[in-house]
Structure 1
Amino acid sequence: MVTVSVIGCGNMGSALIAGLSRAGGHEIVAADLDTDALAAVEEHCTRTTTDPSEADDSEVVFVAVKPDIVGAVLDDIDVPAESVLVTIAAGVTTDYVAPRTDAQVVRLMPNLAAETGTMAGAVAGDPVPDVVRDLLADLGEYAEIEESLMDTATALNGSGPAFVFYLVAAMRDGAVAEGMDREAAETLAAQTFKGAAETVLRSDRSIEELIDAVCSPNGTTIEGMESLWDSPVEDEVAAAVEAAARRSRELSAEVGDE
Structure 2
Amino acid sequence: MVHVSVIGCGHMGGALVRGLSAANHRVTACDVDESALEDLSGVADGTTTDLEAAASAPIVVLAVGPDIAGEVLAGLGLDPDQTVVSVAAGVSTSVLESTTDAAVVRMMPNLAAEYGEMAAAVTPEPTGDVAAVLADLGTVVTIEEDQMDLATAINGSGPAFVFYLIGAMQQAGIEGGLDSDDAAALAAQTFKGAAEIALQSDESVDELIDAVATEGGTTIEGMEVLWDSDVEDVLGEAVTAAEERSAEITAEVGEE
TM-score calculated relative to the size of structure 1: 0.97
In structure 2, the partner of 1:40 is 39
In structure 1, the partner of 2:190 is 192
In structure 1, the partner of 2:228 is 230
The AA in structure 1 aligned to 2:2 is V
1:31 and 1:55 in contact (8 A); partners too:
yes
Report the secondary structure of 2:69's partner residue: helix
Residues 101-250 of structure 1 mapped to structure 2, 5 A cutoff:
101-125=100-124, 127-250=125-248
Q: CA deviation at 1:83?
A: 0.9
1:155 and 1:242 in contact (8 A); partners too:
yes
Q: CA deviation at 1:104?
A: 0.6
Distance 1:72 1:40 in 2: 26
Distance 1:200 1:129 in 2: 27
Report the secondary structure of 1:250's partner residue: helix
Distance 2:44 2:181 in 1: 34
Unpaired segments of 5 or more residues in structure 1? none
Superposition RMSD on alpha carbons, in Å? 0.9
Q: CA deviation at 1:222?
A: 0.4
TM-score calculated relative to the size of structure 2: 0.98
Report the secondary structure of 1:5's partner residue: strand
Task: State the Cα deviation string for residues 95-139 of structure 1 (Å, max 9, x = none).
Answer: 1110110011000000000001111111111x4222222112111
1:57 and 1:80 in contact (8 A); partners too:
no
Aligned residues: 256
The AA in structure 2 aligned to 1:142 is V
Distance 1:40 1:176 in 2: 33
Report the secondary structure of 2:28's partner residue: strand
Distance 1:135 1:2 in 2: 7
Say yes or no: does 1:96 pair with 2:95.
yes
Q: CA deviation at 1:75?
A: 2.7
1:68 and 1:255 in contact (8 A); partners too:
yes
What fraction of aligned residue pairs are identical, expressed as a percent? 54
In structure 2, the partner of 1:63 is 62
Distance 1:6 1:218 in 2: 53
Distance 1:57 1:81 in 2: 12
Q: CA deviation at 1:89?
A: 1.2
1:12 and 1:111 in contact (8 A); partners too:
yes
Deviating beyond 4 angstroms after TM superposition, the runs of 4 or more aligned structure 1 residues are none
1:21 and 1:44 in contact (8 A); partners too:
yes
1:118 and 1:141 in contact (8 A); partners too:
yes
Task: State the Cα deviation string for residues 183-211 of structure 1 (Å, max 9, x = none).
Answer: 11111000000000011111111111110
Report the secondary structure of 1:80's partner residue: coil
In structure 2, the partner of 1:10 is 10
Report the secondary structure of 2:85's partner residue: strand
The AA in structure 1 aligned to 2:93 is T
1:30 and 1:45 in contact (8 A); partners too:
yes
Greater shift after overlay, 2-11 or 67-76? Answer: 67-76
The AA in structure 2 aligned to 1:12 is M
Distance 2:166 2:46 in 1: 37
Unpaired segments of 5 or more residues in structure 2? none
